[in-house]
Structure 1
Amino acid sequence: MGGGRSSGGSKNSTKPRWSRASSTIIYTSEQVRTLTPIRENIERRSSVPELRDVFLCHAWDDRKEAAKELHDQLEAAGVSAWFSEKDVLLGSTLLREIDKGLAKSRVGIVLVTPSLLRRVQGEGIADKELSALLARDLLVPIVHGTTYEALRDVSPLLGSRSGLNTAEDTMAAIAAKIAELVTL
């Protein structure tokens, strides 16, 4: 899944300040501009105990494919990810567990897919997660199988934020960028 280049390189590539000297991960200037305020918020929250690195917001329909792939790539990159498929235990209250997951995560990533766009319009659980994440400047949209234009049609607030796109980077490259972003 995902497409594009594996390194995320481009003619306007740069290294962000949080990237180690030995890192081979390449960012576009736009990605650095987008991710820098989020990194600053992560650094401010570094003293909060027991935080997960990321909260993965996704559509229910994506839980076994794109969201699981992203989750697995994040975990492989050393990122602790809150993921409803593994963090909500049978018999627990879904909304309460999501609320706790949101509160105990450094940053939120939203996997924007055609399924998520449908779910947000239906004002389901993904819409509630998205609303909570939009209230803080700790949100990175990851567009997969759709476009920012389609996102702006459904959620102008989320669509106004730049992020990462699987049309430009593979899921593995995106996970590596998120890992660098959240590693303190």
Structure 2
Amino acid sequence: RVTRSLVHKWREDKLTSALLFVNKKGFKAENNEHAISIFRNHIYGRLSFIKMIRGDDFPLYLKLMAEMSHHDPLKTKEGLRAMKETETYDVFICHASEDKTSIAIPIYEELTKLKISTFIDHVEINWGDSLIQKINSALVKSKYVIAILSANSVDKHWPKKELHSVLAREIAEGEVKLLTLVKEADEAIVAASLPLLSDKLYITYKDNPAEIADKVRALLNK
């Protein structure tokens, strides 16, 4: 609670908060910048203690470290990591690799033009990253998941696993998360292979990525 309050004060008015802090603690600051430095180091010290006790993946630690770093011009490596870990996405694109070039990337590019934060694997996952950890984390952090369904994806392990994960979240949270997009030529195959989606209103993909992006923007602006 104390650390949260200090981070809040840093965010709202770091100079005033720093001057009050050094005065209360009896520290001697040579100037305003020195006072800010003392205050900054104290907050990072408290955050480091939380990390030591709770671990570097403790949600509250990551949240406070990310908030502190966001408002700190002298960002630390750990602060940047926390910002990355707590980053959220508007959209996660679930797709089979065979549909990446023809469908997934055009949609990603149109969403990006509209400044809609979007997760797509080849952009967000780097060499050496844990594939499972990255994908699971992004799924949880995404407001919506666009599932590109086609003859290529209905029998693929990863797209189906992501699909089931999102459906489970919908049931648990009672909110629409899954936006199904069916390749025009494959509607019958998808319907036969994924009967669990029979009550889901879907959009047919007809080489219309800009239209899809506009519909997503409308949902986000509701």
Superposition TM-score tier, normalisation by shorter sequence:
0.5 to 0.7
1:147 offset after TM fit, Å?
4.1
Letter in 2 for 1:166: Y
1:50 offset after TM fit, Å?
4.0
Q: What does residue 175 of structure 1 align with? A: 213
1:101 offset after TM fit, Å?
0.5
Note the 1:106-125 alignment, pairs <5 A. Answer: 106-119=143-156, 124-125=157-158
CA contact (8 A) 1:148 1:159 kept: no
Secondary structure of the structure 1 residue equivalent to 2:155 = helix
Q: What does residue 59 of structure 2 align with? A: none
Deviation by residue 1:54-112 (Cα, 9 ceiling, x = unmatched) = 11100022222311111111111221111111111111111111000001100111011
Q: Describe the shift of the 1:159–1:94 C-alpha distance in structure 2 as closer, same or farther (beyond 3 A).
A: farther
Alignment partners' CA distance in 1, 2:101 and 2:127: 17
Structure 1 spans left out of the alignment, 5+ residues: 1-48
Comparing both chains, which one has the higher relative contact order based on Cα–Cα distances under 8 Å and sequence gaps of 6 or more? Answer: 1
CA contact (8 A) 1:134 1:158 kept: no
Deviation by residue 1:19-70 (Cα, 9 ceiling, x = unmatched) = xxxxxxxxxxxxxxxxxxxxxxxxxxxxxx7421011100022222311111
Alignment partners' CA distance in 1, 2:101 and 2:133: 22
Q: What does residue 112 of structure 2 align with? A: 75
Provide the aligned C-alpha RMSD in A.
1.9
Q: Describe the shift of the 1:147–1:115 C-alpha distance in structure 2 as closer, same or farther (beyond 3 A).
A: closer
1:161 offset after TM fit, Å?
0.7
Deviation by residue 1:152-177 (Cα, 9 ceiling, x = unmatched) = 2111112431121124x822111111
Higher helix share: 2
Q: Structure 2-normalised TM-score?
A: 0.54
User: What fraction of aligned residue pairs are identical, expressed as a percent?
Assistant: 26
Letter in 2 for 1:175: A
Q: What does residue 61 of structure 1 align with? A: 98
Larger-gyration structure (1/2): 2
CA contact (8 A) 2:150 2:187 kept: no
The alignment covers a number of residue pairs equal to 131
- Which one of the candidate residues 31, 34, 51 is aligned to 2:88? 51
CA contact (8 A) 1:78 1:179 kept: no
Q: Structure 1-normalised TM-score?
A: 0.65
Alignment partners' CA distance in 2, 1:91 and 1:64: 23
CA contact (8 A) 1:58 1:112 kept: yes
Alignment partners' CA distance in 1, 2:182 and 2:199: 13
Q: Describe the shift of the 1:159–1:69 C-alpha distance in structure 2 as closer, same or farther (beyond 3 A).
A: farther
Structure 2 spans left out of the alignment, 5+ residues: 1-85, 171-175
Letter in 1 for 2:134: E
Q: What does residue 139 of structure 1 align with? A: 178
Using the TM superposition, name which of 143-152 and 127-136 deviates more: 143-152
